[in-house]
């Protein structure tokens, strides 16, 4: 019955995000403005999120103001303040720095503008009404478990050498990815089966500024030069694909070992999918940003209609998501969260990406490319 309701309602949902929608609904929406604030256009996934969110709201008749803040927290503050000054009815924000938005969010609260935290939790403010993301601890656990199983840690004696590459320390997600992964690998580190020769064992030691590929490459080159001139490296736990790309680039010119270390990732970025097919990266954790954006759209739409979404909304969503009120305490409150389910991708199940409709096999049939907007129409 639930599936049937979901199937029927997913048509309604898709209609809500396409040009369908009743004329009255679109007319009433057209008087409302949604501010969408993405952290940067430098990383592949935020362009997809931003475009898809913008299209979803515009197709439903809303006015959209979309900003990308070049991974600069001050700029994002100004972007949000600018949108508030121009007038907005709801803000959807993926924070550059979850601890650096207090000023604009106090102003949003003062103006009664609801704020939805998108993908990254925003800290120390009561202004956040909802949080839409994937289960970030689970993302890390999947990465840690992949390394545990790839090295067969429960049935071999080791020891194995591993390095950890985390995301930007200002991103609350990055800490959760680290915590989730560390939960899985910590027993093996404590037993000595996993060794971290660099000594970089904390989130702060392993953080990568801006999640940038160039920074991950620079940091890993330094680690190879100091600790791996003769030692074998068995695995690198990378928090996402942009950092995994940097590690793969560093390996190419600086690792002396003759083995391919196990390398994890996240996001399913195109270059990393190629590396997975070519055996240069082992896995990525795929998060269908269209699903994440569609949940954000459905929650935001109801807020704009003066409703207060709860767990019951789950039943009408056509994606695998859970409602949670206990996992995300942002320093000021427990934030009502909708957490989607991440998926492990390896070279054996990349068809999952194609099945989303956002990707296709290229002409050679060997690699994957994004479906361009033109092709989507
Ligand atoms: C995280 C996000 C990841 C990854 C990273 C880089 O907050 O959850 O999917 O993309 O940012 O931007």
Q: Counting atoms of ligand 1 from 1, which one is nearest the CA of 45?
A: 10
Residue 240 Cβ < 6 Å to ligand 1: yes
Confidence of residue 374 (pLDDT cuts 50, 70, 90): low
Render pLDDT for 280-316 as a digit per residue (tens, 0 to 9).
Answer: 999 999 999 999 999 999 999 999 999 999 999 999 9
Specify the residue with its C-alpha closest to ligand 1, atom 9.
Answer: 267
In CATH terms, the fold of domain 136-286 is: Rossmann fold (3.40.50)
**Which of 181, 345, 211 has its CA nearest to residue 277?**
345
Residue 119 Cβ < 6 Å to ligand 1: yes
Backbone angles phi, psi at 231, to 5 degrees: -85, 150
Q: Counting atoms of ligand 1 from 1, which one is nearest the CA of 267?
A: 9
Confidence of residue 21 (pLDDT cuts 50, 70, 90): low
Each as own residue / partner, the long-range contacts of residues 223-231 (CB below 8 Å, 24 or more positions apart, any chain) are: 223/163, 223/198, 224/250, 224/251, 224/254, 224/255, 224/256, 225/254, 226/198, 227/197, 227/198, 228/161, 228/197, 228/255, 228/256, 228/257, 229/256, 230/256, 231/161, 231/197, 231/257
Tell me, what's the pLDDT at 372? Answer: 74
Q: Name which residue leads in pLDDT, 179 or 103.
A: 179
Strands 63-68, 33-38: parallel, antiparallel or unpaired by DSSP? parallel
Asked whether the predicted pLDDT for residue 18 surpasses 90, the reply is no
Q: How far is the CA of 242 from the centre of ligand 1 (A)?
A: 9
| Residue from 136, 211, 287, 340 to probe ligand 1 pocket by mutation (most atoms less than 8 Å from CB) | 211
Four-way CATH pick for 7-134+288-342: 3.40.50.2300, 3.40.50.1970, 1.10.1840.10, 3.40.50.2000: 3.40.50.2300
Confidence of residue 31 (pLDDT cuts 50, 70, 90): confident
pTM for this entry = 0.89
Confidence of residue 253 (pLDDT cuts 50, 70, 90): confident
Q: How far is the CA of 367 from the centre of ligand 1 (A)?
A: 23
Q: How far is the CA of 312 from the centre of ligand 1 (A)?
A: 28
Q: How far is the CA of 240 from the centre of ligand 1 (A)?
A: 7
A 10 A CB-CB count for 35 gives 25
Q: How far is the CA of 331 from the centre of ligand 1 (A)?
A: 21
Tell me the average pLDDT across 158-183: 97
Tell me the average pLDDT across 107-126: 96
Confidence of residue 30 (pLDDT cuts 50, 70, 90): low
Q: Provide the token pair at 149.
A: 């199983």
Confidence of residue 43 (pLDDT cuts 50, 70, 90): confident
Tell me, what's the pLDDT at 140? Answer: 98
| Residue from 37, 45, 212 to probe ligand 1 pocket by mutation (most atoms less than 8 Å from CB) | 45
Q: Bridge-partner residues for 318, per DSSP?
A: none
Asked if the domains at 7-134+288-342 and 136-286 fall in one CATH topology, the answer is yes
Specify the residue with its C-alpha closest to ligand 1, atom 7.
Answer: 173
Q: How far is the CA of 25 from the centre of ligand 1 (A)?
A: 33
Residue 267 Cβ < 6 Å to ligand 1: yes
Looking at every residue in the chain, the average pLDDT score rounds to: 92
Tell me the average pLDDT across 153-177: 97
| Residue from 171, 178, 243, 285 to probe ligand 1 pocket by mutation (most atoms less than 8 Å from CB) | 171
Specify the residue with its C-alpha closest to ligand 1, atom 4.
Answer: 240
Q: Name which residue leads in pLDDT, 93 or 102.
A: 93
Residue 120 Cβ < 6 Å to ligand 1: yes
Domain boundaries, the chain: 7-134+288-342, 136-286
């Amino acid at each position: 019955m639930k599936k049937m309701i979901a199937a029927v309602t997913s048509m309604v949902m898709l209609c809500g995000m396409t040009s369908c929608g009743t004329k009255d609904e679109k007319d009433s929406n057209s008087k409302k403005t949604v501010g969408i604030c993405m952290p940067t256009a430098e990383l592949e996934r935020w362009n997809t999120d931003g475009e898809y969110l913008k299209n979803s709201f515009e197709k439903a008749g809303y006015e959209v103001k979309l900003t990308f803040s070049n991974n600069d927290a001050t700029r994002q503050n100004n972007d949000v303040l600018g949108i508030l000054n121009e007038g907005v009815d709801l803000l959807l924000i993926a924070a550059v720095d979850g601890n650096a938005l207090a000023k604009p969010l106090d102003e949003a609260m003062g103006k009664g503008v609801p704020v939805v935290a998108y993908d990254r939790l925003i800290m120390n403010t009561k202004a956040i009404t909802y949080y839409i993301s994937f289960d970030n601890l689970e993302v890390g656990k999947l990465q840690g478990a992949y390394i545990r199983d790839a090295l067969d840690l429960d049935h071999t004696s080791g020891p194995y050498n591993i390095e950890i590459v985390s995301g930007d320390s200002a991103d609350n997600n990055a800490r959760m990815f680290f915590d989730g992964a560390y939960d899985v690998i910590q027993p093996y580190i404590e037993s000595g089966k996993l060794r971290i020769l660099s000594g970089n064992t904390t989130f702060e030691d392993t953080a990568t500024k801006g999640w940038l590929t160039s920074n991950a490459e620079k940091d890993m080159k330094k680690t190879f030069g100091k600790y791996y001139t003769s030692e074998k490296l068995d695995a690198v736990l990378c928090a996402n694909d942009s950092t995994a790309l940097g590690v793969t680039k560093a390996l190419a010119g600086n690792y002396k070992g003759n083995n391919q270390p196990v390398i994890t990732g996240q996001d399913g970025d195109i270059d990393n999918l190629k590396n997975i097919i070519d055996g240069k990266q082992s896995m990525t954790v795929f998060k269908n940003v269209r699903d994440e954006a569609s949940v954000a759209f459905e929650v935001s739409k109801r807020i704009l209609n003066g409703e207060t979404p709860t767990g019951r909304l789950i039943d009408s969503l056509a994606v695998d998501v859970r409602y949670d009120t206990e996992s995300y305490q942002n320093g000021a409150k427990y934030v009502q969260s909708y957490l989607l389910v991440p998926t492990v991708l390896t070279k054996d199940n990349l068809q999952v990406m194609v099945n989303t409709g956002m990707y296709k096999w290229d002409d050679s049939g060997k690699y994957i490319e994004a479906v361009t907007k033109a092709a989507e129409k």
